[in-house]
Amino acid sequence: MTTIAIIGAGEGLGAAVARRFGREGFSVALISREQGNVDRIAAALGGAGITAAGFAADVRNPESLTTALDSAAERLGPIEVLQYSPVPAREFMKPVLETRVADLVGPVEFSIYGPVTAVNWALPGMRSLGRGTVLFVNGGSAVRPGATVAGTSVAFAGESAYAQLLHDALAPEGLHVGQLIIPRGIGAGEPSHEPDALAERLWTMHTERGEFRTFAAPLD
């Protein structure tokens, strides 16, 4: 049995993805800053017959993140799918004319250093398995920067570039990298943006291994 590691797992999208992959026989590693949060989700998944466990980590702290991934693989089995989808902090979203150098440190650590840390940890295991998928989940500012959310716009652009480069570099090895863009956020009354619908999209991205970027809905 292999594992999906969901970095940034919460009650919405993270739990929905866990259920979707869990139904297919994946074990689920739930990673977020709050141990109690992921423990609750793991318990609910266990009640539905899905093998799951929670691990606490701060994505801005490389040692914390790699320790959580080490523990997840040791407890649940090799990680075949890595999803990077933590929700950015509100303080990352200042207007561009109010953004200073110090305001970009957090977003860059969160959206660039975090994914690089996680992917570099995961790749040796995926290569050993001979298969693997890395899924990035971002808001619309990853492809269309917003003047009122400068920090995430800058950092998501960097994350998107890194993910695209990974996609191109790893495809010859049979490893797939995909990015799901969710304009206007999760939910918001749009059926295509509901957690279960997004989880189905991510499952399809993993199984069909198509183009790099998928949009949950048009940007406009």
| Residue boundaries of the structural domains of the chain | 3-215
Query: Looking at the predicted structure, is the pLDDT value of residue 192 above 90?
Result: no
Task: Report the C-alpha gap between 35 and 56 in whole angstroms.
Answer: 5
Angle at 179 between CA 115 and CA 168, to 5 degrees: 80
Model confidence pLDDT, tens digit, residues 96-114: 999 999 999 999 999 999 9
Per-residue model confidence (pLDDT) at position 1:
80
Kindly report the average pLDDT of the chain as a whole number. 95
Evaluate whether 161 touches 118 at the Cβ level (below 8 Å): no
pTM (2 decimals)?
0.95
Distance from C-alpha of 33 to C-alpha of 59, rounded to nearest angstrom: 8
pLDDT confidence bin for 116, thresholds 50/70/90: very high
Per-residue tokens: 93: 């979203």
**pLDDT per position as a tens digit, 54-67:** 999 999 999 999 99
| Whether residue 189 has pLDDT greater than 80 | no
pLDDT at residue 98 in the model: 96
Q: What share of the chain has pLDDT > 90, as a percent?
A: 89
Percent of the chain with pLDDT over 70: 100
> Does the pLDDT of residue 162 top 70, yes or no?
yes
Cα 176 from Cα 68, distance rounded (Å): 23
Residues 6+ away with beta carbon under 8 Å from 55:
29, 30, 31, 35, 38, 68, 69, 71, 72
Whole-number Cα distances in Å, 71 to 34, 55, 66, 67, 195: 16, 8, 9, 6, 27
Q: What's the pLDDT band for 188 if we cut at 50, 70, 90?
A: low
In whole angstroms, what is the distance from residue 219 CA to residue 214 CA?
Answer: 11
pLDDT score of 191:
83
Q: For residue 214, what pLDDT is reported?
A: 96
- Which residues, other chains included, contact 132 with Cβ-Cβ below 8 Å and sequence gap of 6+? 79, 80, 81, 82, 122, 123, 125, 126, 175, 176
The CB density around residue 50, as the number of other CB atoms within 10 Å, is: 18
Which superfamily is assigned to 3-215 in CATH? NAD(P)-binding Rossmann-like Domain (3.40.50.720)
